[in-house]
Structure 1
Amino acid sequence: MEIINFIVFQVLSQPSILLGVVALVGLLMQKRPMNQVVMGTLKTIIGVLIIGGGAGIVGNSLAPLGVILNAGIGINGIIPTNEAVLPFAIANFGSMGALVMVGGFIMNLILARVTKFKFIYLTGHVMLYVSLFVTAIYVSLANLSGAMLFIVGSVTMGIYFTFMPALLNPYTKKITGGEAFTIGHTGDIGYWFSAWLGKYIGKPEQSAEKFKLPKSLSFFRDSTASMAITMVVIFLIAVLITGYSYVEQNISKEMNPFMFAIIQGLTFAGGVTIVLAGVRMMLSEIIPAFSGISEKIIPGAIPAIDCPAVFPYAPTALIFGFVSMFIGMIIGMFIQFGINSVYIILPGIVPAFFAGGTAGIFGNSTGGWKGAIVGPFIVGIVLTIGTGYLIPSTGALANTGSTFGDPFYATIGLAFAKLIALFN
């Protein structure tokens, strides 16, 4: 079991190492010169680490915004964040969750080899989150354990790892202009819905990236500048809503609250810029390297990687989706009050950015700027309400004050939990 734990928690759950191994294997299979193998492997790992570093900066810059806004709203609830629930999930279901993840990944490779769905799920940390979630549901609602839990869980995860990326692949190709990768992330159902809805509410040629601006505002065409200004304004508004004195006493401490807002907004833009640089480095190495695996082991194989991979293709739509989904989550929270929900889900800034922003990119690909706004807004409402209904089904995790926080869990995950409960 120690070997399995090492493979899961030290290798497969580390995106940089997992993708580095994939690049190494692919380059070796292509019989590239050793210098190219070493360089391609290292640049892949470093590119993913850069993405992670940038994502960490983004998350840290957004964290105070959530605190400020939730204090302004004056509600004590649960913020849906995968990272917050992870320690509790590992403590309660970690050993079997690790086995289920490994079994699911093996099933994914087999299905990709023998079916027409050639997608290999490579977003390691997301694989771990979903495996722990599925294990928690089977244990809590179906009372499965031992070998039966491993077999059923592995088959479930193999199906998920194979077919959810297939759902997104047509839209990912449209976004990227045919690049040989798709997205593997638990924002998946929100991405698909936004792209599907976009076809009916807008036109792709009216892209958020094509907004015409006067020369005096032309700096908004630069993604870094537009993100910086947008986030600075959002932070300043949040400070005004919550109150200068509260922010000064509880959050900004020795820094002037308005200066704090400006710095946090600029830090966010810096983090996203780092993410984009890492994405470009990683894609430039992993796609050619993966062709070795595609040619030798699984003909036609396509990697499913983390959602930041599409950020460079529509950075304005990213911001539209982020803001829109966050507003939707606020609306969803107030709907929960109206329906007397037992668990009140607070707007989560991090899922709003990574799930909502990416949903904006997918919606923009089919419905232009309208698709970038409407789909994520609806997804934000559904995520909030659905997550509230999901919590009681998560067994030992229900009383931890944390929960899984992406559209998959609040939609397909919720339906999965209700179906398992129905038959037990």
Structure 2
Amino acid sequence: MTLINFIVYQVLNEPAVLVGLMALIGLAVMKKPFSKIMSGTLKSILGFVILGAGSNVLISSLNNLGPMIQQTFNIQGVIPTNEAIVALAQQTFGRETALIMGFGFLANLLFARITPLKYVFLTGHHIFFMAALLSAVLGTAGLNEIPLIIVGSLLLGFVMVLFPALGAPFMRKVTGGDEVAIGHFGTTGYIAAGLVGQLIGDPEDSTEDIEFSDSLSFLKESVLSTMLTMIIIFFIIGLFAGPEVYAEYAGERSLFMFALMQGITFAAGVSIILSGVRMIIGEIVPAFQGIAEKIVPDAKPALDCPITFTYAPNAVIIGFIFSFLGGLVSMFLLGPLGLALIIPGMVPHFFTGATAGVFGNATGGKKGAMLGAFVNGILISFLPALLLPVLGSLGFANTTFGDADFGVVGIIVGYLAKLFS
């Protein structure tokens, strides 16, 4: 059990190490020189660490904005937070989660080898979150011990190839190739955004072709336009909040300086993420040729959602804003429909909304980015509300799973498990 715990919690749960391990195996199988193997492995790890560091910088800014909005408008309800609900699940299903995660990754490799779904899911924390969801849902439905672990592992391995495969047609439009897949359990929202884009937009009318006058041409730099947008958002929310509320977050700084620094911090996080993504793509794609040749023929890596951000940086900020608007609209619809009030979480709306914006832009340009992300915002509001009853006692702690696929899998598996238990 000690070895399993080490593999699960120290290796599989560390995306940088997991990706580095895959790069090492791929380059070794291709019989590359030792220096190339070390370079590719270490750069893959470094790229993921850089990506994670950028995410942390960005989240530090969002963690100020979200509570400010809640205090300003006196909103009370359930905030979807994957990390929080997983921590609760671990108290009851910790052992089961660990085993499902370990065996689920092996099942992923098996499914990738024997089925046409040739995807290896490499987003370690999302593997962990889905393992926790499956253990909680299956356990609440009445399964336990060995049946729970076997069923959970097979289901985990299956969804780890299924969702990248479902998202692949749209991912090809995003990247212009077939080298990488989306490995993030928000794919239902991204597919929805892509479909919306196809229906209402024109991919030629891209967010990346937004015209600026000469005096505003500096905004063609996506990181600068992102920074300015977030400065304005922080400033407006601060004005509504009033001095007492924003002072809790700004300290002795004026509202202007607080908004300025938060916008700059947010943009810095995005810039760091983009740097990490470029490094990962440059190393992991060649390494996977070795895995494809020897271990899982035609294998493709399924990577975390920020991998898409470099393809349409303007769509990233547009997607975030419109996904959050979708969450706000949904918040006022949930109560009258008799569902739990889901408060839009800034972190899930940024990462899934931004990615939905990129997918929507790839199929429908500006309209696709805006309305596709808006639909994503609705999905990640209604699906968590519908998931709450399935989670049993875990669902009453003011939090639930945030991304769309957790809701889809949890609801379907939960109700099917109850039918057969």
TM-score (normalised: structure 2): 0.97
Is 1:403 the counterpart of 2:400? The answer is: yes
Query: 1:351-375: CA deviations, max 9, x gaps?
Result: 0110011001001110111110112
The whole-number CA distance in structure 1 between the counterparts of 2:411 and 2:60 is 29
Is the 8 Å Cα contact of residues 5 and 95 (structure 1) preserved in structure 2? no
Is the 8 Å Cα contact of residues 51 and 278 (structure 1) preserved in structure 2? yes
Is the 8 Å Cα contact of residues 96 and 135 (structure 1) preserved in structure 2? yes
Counterpart amino acid of residue 173 in structure 1: R
Counterpart amino acid of residue 90 in structure 1: Q
In structure 1, the residue corresponding to 2:396 is in which secondary structure?
A: coil
Is the 8 Å Cα contact of residues 86 and 133 (structure 2) preserved in structure 1? no
Query: 1:153-210: CA deviations, max 9, x gaps?
Result: 1111111011110011121121111050101111110001111121110010011111
After the TM superposition, which residues 243-282 of structure 1 pair with which residues of structure 2 at under 5 Å, given as runs? 243-248=242-247, 250-282=248-280
After the TM superposition, which residues 45-60 of structure 1 pair with which residues of structure 2 at under 5 Å, given as runs? 45-60=45-60
The whole-number CA distance in structure 1 between the counterparts of 2:161 and 2:194 is 20
Identity %, equivalent residues: 43
Aligned positions, number? 421
Query: 1:273-294: CA deviations, max 9, x gaps?
Result: 0000000011101111111111
Counterpart amino acid of residue 225 in structure 2: S
| Structure 1 portions without partners, runs of 5+ | none
Counterpart amino acid of residue 45 in structure 2: I
Counterpart amino acid of residue 178 in structure 1: G
In structure 1, the residue corresponding to 2:79 is in which secondary structure?
A: coil
Query: 1:85-121: CA deviations, max 9, x gaps?
Result: 2322222212111111122211111111111111111
Q: Which residue of 1 aligns with 2:134?
A: 134
Counterpart amino acid of residue 33 in structure 1: P
Q: Which residue of 1 aligns with 2:112?
A: 112
Deviation >6 Å, runs of 4+: none
**Residue 410 (structure 1) shift:** 3.0
Is 1:337 the counterpart of 2:340? The answer is: no
Q: Which residue of 2 aligns with 1:352?
A: 349
**Residue 262 (structure 1) shift:** 1.4
Is 1:145 the counterpart of 2:144? The answer is: yes
Query: 1:288-314: CA deviations, max 9, x gaps?
Result: 111111111111000101011110000
Q: Which residue of 1 aligns with 2:11?
A: 11
**Residue 239 (structure 1) shift:** 0.7
Q: Which residue of 2 aligns with 1:93?
A: 93
The whole-number CA distance in structure 2 between the counterparts of 1:365 and 1:377 is 15
The whole-number CA distance in structure 1 between the counterparts of 2:116 and 2:407 is 29
**Residue 423 (structure 1) shift:** 4.1
Is the 8 Å Cα contact of residues 390 and 410 (structure 2) preserved in structure 1? no
**Residue 399 (structure 1) shift:** 2.7
Counterpart amino acid of residue 286 in structure 1: I
**Residue 422 (structure 1) shift:** 4.0
Counterpart amino acid of residue 56 in structure 2: G
In structure 2, the residue corresponding to 1:120 is in which secondary structure?
A: strand
Is 1:288 the counterpart of 2:286? The answer is: yes
After the TM superposition, which residues 2-401 of structure 1 pair with which residues of structure 2 at under 5 Å, given as runs? 2-141=2-141, 143-248=142-247, 250-341=248-339, 343-401=340-398
Counterpart amino acid of residue 334 in structure 1: F
The whole-number CA distance in structure 1 between the counterparts of 2:111 and 2:408 is 24
The whole-number CA distance in structure 2 between the counterparts of 1:168 and 1:322 is 19
In structure 2, the residue corresponding to 1:203 is in which secondary structure?
A: coil
Query: 1:36-69: CA deviations, max 9, x gaps?
Result: 1111111110110000000011111111100111
In structure 2, the residue corresponding to 1:303 is in which secondary structure?
A: strand
Is the 8 Å Cα contact of residues 97 and 135 (structure 1) preserved in structure 2? yes
TM-score (normalised: structure 1): 0.96
Query: 1:227-257: CA deviations, max 9, x gaps?
Result: 1001111111111122232211x22222223
The whole-number CA distance in structure 2 between the counterparts of 1:5 and 1:89 is 17
Counterpart amino acid of residue 308 in structure 2: V
The whole-number CA distance in structure 1 between the counterparts of 2:399 and 2:7 is 26
Is 1:416 the counterpart of 2:384? The answer is: no
In structure 1, the residue corresponding to 2:301 is in which secondary structure?
A: strand
In structure 2, the residue corresponding to 1:338 is in which secondary structure?
A: coil
The whole-number CA distance in structure 2 between the counterparts of 1:195 and 1:28 is 37
The whole-number CA distance in structure 1 between the counterparts of 2:408 and 2:146 is 28
Counterpart amino acid of residue 57 in structure 1: V
Is the 8 Å Cα contact of residues 383 and 411 (structure 1) preserved in structure 2? no
The whole-number CA distance in structure 2 between the counterparts of 1:347 and 1:385 is 11
| Structure 2 portions without partners, runs of 5+ | none
In structure 1, the residue corresponding to 2:399 is in which secondary structure?
A: coil
The whole-number CA distance in structure 2 between the counterparts of 1:421 and 1:122 is 31
Instruction: Kindly report the root-mean-square deviation, in angstroms, between the aligned alpha carbons of the 2 structures.
Output: 1.3
The whole-number CA distance in structure 1 between the counterparts of 2:147 and 2:370 is 44
Q: Which moved more, 1:409-418 or 1:60-69?
A: 409-418
